[in-house]
Amino acid sequence: MNKPVKPSPSASQALVAGVDEVGRGPLAGPVVTAAVILDPSRPIIGLADSKKLSEARRESLASIIKQSALSWSLGRAEVEEIDELNILQATLLAMQRAVAGLSIAPNHVLVDGNRCPQLPCSAEAIIKGDGSVPAISAASIIAKVARDREMVVLDKNYPGYGLARHKGYPTKAHIAALVELGVTPIHRRSFAPVRRLLENATG
């Protein structure tokens, strides 16, 4: 007697991955992306744009997403890659890495924003998709939780810059710390505030 064959998810539906990034705007640290394929049989309540959720809620949802999704993956581009490629191209590269890291190959990818990376499957850019497409919301949540945790660690390695608070974004406190303490290896030299400080120091 033949054993019953369990149908794969793709047998009944297209496998769609949501992709989003966190960290395009900061002056320091990597840009982090995530790709998530949600399980339609295990809906997750409360998915939303990660920026509109409290830290505690993001942490809780990130854990649920990782347990419930069919597949999820993180991608990243380092500061050196951002400076070499520019932030847009580095972000697209990080998105490619996130999709490539999925344990299940998606049939289609939905990307937050207005640009898609080159992928081995079809892709669609959705402006403000992190607030309207559950898979993109899920990606935004786990990407933000991962990057925020990393910035807390970097804050201990580079004290005085306030990285745990502002996560590398160009706040007044961050700019003041850069002026006082100088540019570190985790700062993006191609970004104008950092570049100007370096030019002034050598000029």
Look at residue 192 and tell me if it is in a domain. Answer: no
- Stretch 156-162: mean pLDDT: 98
pLDDT at position 203: 59
Q: Is residue 136 part of a domain?
A: yes
- Residue written as tokens 């406190």? 173
Residue 68: inside a domain, yes or no?
A: yes
84-112 confidence digits (pLDDT tens): 999 999 999 999 999 999 999 999 999 99
The pTM score is 0.91
Using alpha carbons only, how large is the chain's radius of gyration in Å?
A: 19
- Which three-class secondary structure state does DSSP give residue 115? coil
Q: What's the burial of 97, exposed, middle or buried (CB within 10 Å: 0-12/13-18/19+)?
A: middle
- Poorest-confidence range of 3-17, 80-94, 116-130? 3-17
Q: Is residue 144 part of a domain?
A: yes
**Domain assignment present for 172:** no
Q: What is the identity of the amino acid at 24?
A: R
User: Is residue 195 scored above 70 in pLDDT?
Assistant: yes
Query: What span, in angstroms and rounded, lies between the C-alpha atoms of 103 and 108?
Result: 15
How many domains is the chain built from? 1
- State the distance between the two ends of the chain, measured CA to CA, in whole angstroms: 81
Find the domain containing 53 and state its range.
Answer: 9-150
Does pLDDT of 116 surpass 50? Answer: yes
Confidence of residue 13 (pLDDT cuts 50, 70, 90): low
Location of structure tokens 């697209």: 92
Query: Which tokens is 145 given?
Result: 């939780």
Handedness of CA 149, 174, 97, 139 (dihedral sign): positive
| CATH number, position 35 | 3.30.420.10
Neighbours of 196 (CB within 10 A): 12
